[in-house]
Structure 1
Amino acid sequence: MLGAIGLDAGQESAYRALVALGAAEVADLAHRLALPETDTERALRRLEQQGLASRSSARRGRWVAAPPGVALGALLTQQRQELERAELAAASLAQEYRAEAAEPAVHDLVELVTGAGAVAHRFAQLQLGAVDEVCALLTEPPHPDAVRTRPGVALRVVIERETLAATPSSVLSQRDAQLRVVDRVPGGLVVADRSLGMVPLTARSSEPAALVVHGCGLLDALVGLFDAVWREALPLRSATGGFEELANGPDATDLEILSLLLAGMTDARVAKRLDLGLRTVQRRVKGLMELAGVTTRLQLGWHAYARGWVSREPGAPLP
Structure 2
Amino acid sequence: MTNARLGEALGLLGIGHAAARVYPVLLELAPAPLGEIGAAAGLTGPELTSAYAELVAVGLASAAADDQDVVAPIPPAAGLEILGRHRAAEVDVSRLTVGGAFESFRRQRLAAYNDDLVEVVTGEAVGPRLRQAWASAREQIRQFDSPPYFPLSGATEDALATLTRGVRQRVVYSQASIELPGNLEEAIEPCVEAGEQARVLPSVPVKLLIIDDAYALVSLSIKEADVHNTLLIVQPCGLLSALVALFEQSWQSALPFHGRAVPRPGGLLPADRRLLWLLWLLAGGARDEVVARELGISRRTLFRRMEVLMARLGARSRFQMALQAQRHGWL
| Larger helix proportion of the pair | 2
The answer to whether the superposition gives a TM-score over 0.5 is no
More strand by share: 1
Q: Which has the higher contact order (CA 8 A, sep 6+)?
A: 2
Structure number with greater Rg is 1
TM superposition score normalised by structure 2: 0.40
TM-score (ref. length: structure 1): 0.42
